[in-house]
Amino acid sequence: MKRILFNIIALIIVLFVVLAAAAVAQTISPITQEAKGPHARGEITVTNQGVVPLAVVLEPASLLSAANGKPTYGPLRGVALKLSEQSARLGPKQTRTISYDAKCDQLPCAFTVFAKFMQGHTAQGIAVAVHLPSSVYVCEKKKGCRESTLRGLGLWQGK
């Protein structure tokens, strides 16, 4: 009886540890931003919720229209974008705020910054990366910028 009780308690502890490890993830915020242009400044925050250090690389891309109504991304065009950091190493539970400074050639314009989280070095195998996007919409007026930009690209799915 004592042994069974001990095994049940041990199982509960193991489950706690496994669940706690599985609950962690990486985050980016905000997911979308609206800004008044053509010169827009803002911040993107990336967080490593895990317990092992990660490398994060920020890759900007332009949002392109597509015939099938699904968004596609391509090389950054029509925007001069500066990031305070292009990449960083994030410690466990560490958060980093990265500033951006964007100048659009014409309005409205939109770009997306992908934060690519990559775990440490492995001698063999494949690299696993998590890509999290943060989109910025720049217009003459801040209000409703996202909607008007997506409508212009034929990507608006709302009512």
Partner 1 sequence: MKRLLLSLFLASPALCQTIEVQGGASSLYQAQGGGIVLYEPGFTTTASVGIFQGRLVGSAATQFDFRGWTIDAGDKQLFFTSGAAGIGTANRGLLVSRKGKRSEVAFFLGAVGRASTTPFFSGTQAFSFGSGFTFQHTFKRGFVFGTIAATAGNRHTALQDASWKWRALKLSETAGLLENRTFANGQGLIQFRHFAATISRTNYIFQNQSAGVTNEGFAALLGPLDLHASTFQSKGAPGETAGGSLRFGFLSVRADEFWQQGHTFSGSLNQHVGRFRISQYINRSNGQTTFSAGGGFQSNWLSASVDHTVLYSLFTGKFQNATVVTLSFRVHDATVNLGTVNRKWTAYGGEYIQTGLQLAGENRHAGISGHIVNGFVRDEKGVPVEGAAVEIGGRLVFSDSDGYFEARFRKTKPVAVRIRPEDFTAPGTWKLLAAPFAATPGDSQAISVVVARY
Residues that bind partner 1 in the complex, under the rule CB under 8 A = 6-7, 10, 13-14, 16-17, 20, 24, 50-53, 55-59, 82-89, 91-101, 116, 118-127, 129
Shortest approach of partner 1 to residue 128 CB, angstroms? Answer: 9
- Between 62 and 119, CB nearer to partner 1: 119
Which C-beta is closer to partner 1: that of 16 or that of 66? 16
CB 115 to partner 1: min, Å: 11
Distance between CA atoms of residues 95 and 85, nearest Å: 13
Count of alpha carbons within 13 Å of 36, Cβ hemisphere only? Answer: 3
> How many C-beta atoms lie closer than 10 Å to residue 142's C-beta?
15
CB atoms < 10 A from the CB of 48, how many? Answer: 24
- How far is Cα 147 from Cα 131, in angstroms, rounded to an integer? 24
In angstroms, give the least distance from the CB of 24 to partner 1: 8
